[in-house]
């Protein structure tokens, strides 16, 4: 899949701001999307130190950049620099996508919707069901904001540091109309029949450790690990051994990017091409 970009005086510029940004797959993802639709646009990584965020954003606006993504550590720090922030990004307290409309900066967060869209291969109707979430960091927050709109009956949040799970649940419960959120211990989580268990912790990125032992659970019908490096974490390997349908985080990465692409261009993102770009970028990793 070629990500070659055409550059002219009319090229629209996009990018990602992070620190570090050396491992980002977003340039391959978006440049492939622009190419596939014949858009004259280019997407670049911008390494920006935390204390340089404000001048960097001012500079991007001054240069006429049309939109950008934010990654660690800027997702919350960007909030006061924006003119408008979508409701979902306000709830999550973090922005991963910004569009510049004639210099007016509109921020949103595509992680929650990206996660929900990524569940499609599981053919899972969450309405009325129970979901378990491992972890209570930034990713868990985005997922919970999305899951609370899925109509799930109860979401159980389990974290190594229980106070963080409790704080997360109490700050998001007010927005969840049909869903009850509860902070639980690992043994309480294991005793629940779960339609879905999602790992949002970083445990498993090393290819060795597991955040939970699936065999100890009463019932788990589906497992998602939002980690995509490695593509199969030990948790997902265990799900496979136990014949539990499972997904890694590649779909979430793809769909959050597709939502950002549409937010910027107003066009439906080319899924097949963007998925292939991610797969080949990961293989080349
Ligand atoms: P992210 O933005 O990717 O969610 P984060 O905010 O740093 O990253 O959160 C990382 C999550 O992984 C947290 O839930 C963290 O648990 P703590 O809140 O107790 O720190 C979890 N985590 C990281 N290392 C862990 C480990 N070795 N065992 C269990 N949980 C771990």
Taking only the tens place, the pLDDT of each residue in 222-279 is 999 999 999 999 999 999 999 999 999 999 999 999 999 999 999 999 999 999 999 9
pLDDT at position 5 over 80: no
Number of domains present in the structure of the chain:
2
On whether both 257 and 170 belong to a single domain, the answer is: no
Which of left, alpha, beta for 128 (phi over 0: left; psi -120 to 50: alpha)?
left
Pocket-testing residue among 92, 133, 137, 204, ligand 1, by greatest number of atoms within 8 A of Cβ: 137
User: What CA–CA distance (Å, rounded) separates 143 from 135?
Assistant: 11
Pocket-testing residue among 23, 201, 208, ligand 1, by greatest number of atoms within 8 A of Cβ: 201
Contact 238, 4 (CB under 8 A): no
* Average of per-residue pLDDT across 111-136: 96
> Would the CB of 265 count as within 6 Å of ligand 1?
no
On whether both 94 and 139 belong to a single domain, the answer is: no
Residue 136 lies in a domain: yes
* Residue ID of nearest Cα to ligand 1 atom 12: 201
pLDDT at position 1 over 60: no
Residue 208 lies in a domain: yes
Residue 279 lies in a domain: yes
Domain containing 123 — which CATH number? 3.40.50.720
Residue 1 lies in a domain: no
Look up the pTM and report it. 0.95
* Residue ID of nearest Cα to ligand 1 atom 21: 201
Residue 184 lies in a domain: yes
Q: What is the pLDDT of residue 285?
A: 78
Q: Order of strands, edge to edge, in the sheet holding 12-18? A: 41-47, 12-18, 67-70, 97-101, 104-108, 84-85
- What does residue 158 show for φ and ψ, rounded to 5 degrees? -125, 130
Q: What is the pLDDT of residue 113?
A: 96
- The domain in which residue 124 lies consists of 113-248
Give the dihedral sign, CA 283/73/44/115.
Answer: positive
Query: pLDDT tier at 139 (50, 70, 90 boundaries)?
Result: very high
Residue 212 lies in a domain: yes
On whether both 118 and 230 belong to a single domain, the answer is: yes
On whether both 142 and 226 belong to a single domain, the answer is: yes
* Residue ID of nearest Cα to ligand 1 atom 22: 201
Q: How many CB atoms lie within 10 A of CB 170?
A: 11
On whether both 124 and 242 belong to a single domain, the answer is: yes
> Would the CB of 176 count as within 6 Å of ligand 1?
no
Contact 225, 204 (CB under 8 A): yes
Domain containing 79 — which CATH number? 3.40.50.10860
- Find residue 212's DSSP bridge partners: none
Is 267 tagged catalytic?
no
How many C-alpha atoms does 285 have within 13 Å on its Cβ side?
Answer: 16
């Amino acid at each position: 899949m070629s990500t070659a970009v055409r550059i002219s005086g009319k090229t629209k510029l996009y990018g990602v701001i992070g620190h570090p940004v050396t491992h980002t797959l977003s340039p391959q993802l978006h440049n492939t999307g622009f190419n596939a639709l014949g858009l004259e646009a280019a997407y670049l990584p911008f390494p920006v130190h935390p204390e340089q965020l404000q001048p960097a954003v001012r500079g991007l606006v001054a240069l006429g950049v049309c939109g950008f993504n934010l990654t660690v550590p800027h997702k919350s720090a960007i909030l006061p620099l924006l003119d408008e922030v979508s409701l979902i990004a306000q709830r999550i307290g973090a922005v991963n996508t910004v569009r510049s409309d004639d210099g007016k900066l509109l921020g949103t967060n595509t992680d929650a919707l990206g996660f929900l869209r990524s569940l499609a291969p599981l053919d899972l109707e969450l309405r009325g069901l129970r979901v378990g979430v491992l972890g209570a960091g930034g990713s868990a927050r985005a997922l919970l904001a999305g899951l609370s709109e899925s109509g799930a009956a109860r979401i159980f949040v389990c974290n190594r540091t229980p106070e963080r799970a409790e704080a997360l649940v109490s700050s998001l419960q007010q927005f969840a109309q049909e869903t009850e959120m509860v902070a639980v211990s690992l043994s309480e989580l294991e005793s629940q029949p779960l339609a879905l268990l999602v790992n949002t912790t970083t445990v498993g990125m090393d290819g060795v450790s597991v955040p939970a032992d699936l065999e100890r659970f009463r019932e788990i019908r589906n497992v998602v690990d939002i980690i995509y490096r490695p593509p199969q974490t030990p948790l997902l390997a265990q799900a496979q051994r136990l014949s539990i349908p499972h997904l890694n985080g590649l779909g979430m990465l793809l769909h959050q990017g597709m939502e950002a692409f549409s937010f910027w261009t107003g066009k439906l993102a080319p899924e097949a091409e963007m998925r292939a770009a991610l797969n080949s970028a990961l293989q080349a990793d």
